[in-house]
Amino acid sequence: MKVFDNTTKNIFLASWVSINQSETSEDRGTKLSRPVSKPHWNILQPLKQRVDSIQVRDRQLAHRLCKLIPSQCPFERDVKLFGKTLFHIPPMCKLNPLYEEVVGLRFRALCYLADECGEDVSQYC
């Protein structure tokens, strides 16, 4: 569950409320109805749930996950020519629809290695 999705609706609702002395309490109640959003089916939701449900209970699996999933976005680059930066390619990992789930899986693997196995995970940071 994302906190941002739940708070923005309340913030926008609260920021658009105007209080006029001429309005009665009945009028105010009818004008502040929440918009009804259509339910949509996310095609990646089953895959997201599958990745979230992976439990790390094996030392070898945890090591593999920490090696395969990078700690930082590998696509972020500075393109330089003759020592001068021409342009910067921003990290595009957040465009990946499974980004949060994969990063969470890596975090669970790191926590398993550190907490359960008592290993030093500084090599993966």
Rounded (5°) CA angle 84-70-102: 130
Does the predicted TM-score (pTM) go above 0.85?
A: no
The tally of CA atoms less than 13 A away on the side-chain side of residue 37 is 5
Say if residues 66 and 83 touch (Cβ distance below 8 Å). Answer: no
* pLDDT tens digits, 51-109: 999 999 999 999 999 999 988 888 888 889 998 999 888 888 878 888 999 999 999 99
Say if residues 105 and 54 touch (Cβ distance below 8 Å). Answer: yes
Q: Residue 81 has which token pair?
A: 């020519």
Residue 11 has pLDDT above 50, yes or no: no
In 1-125, where do the E strands start and end? 77-81, 84-89
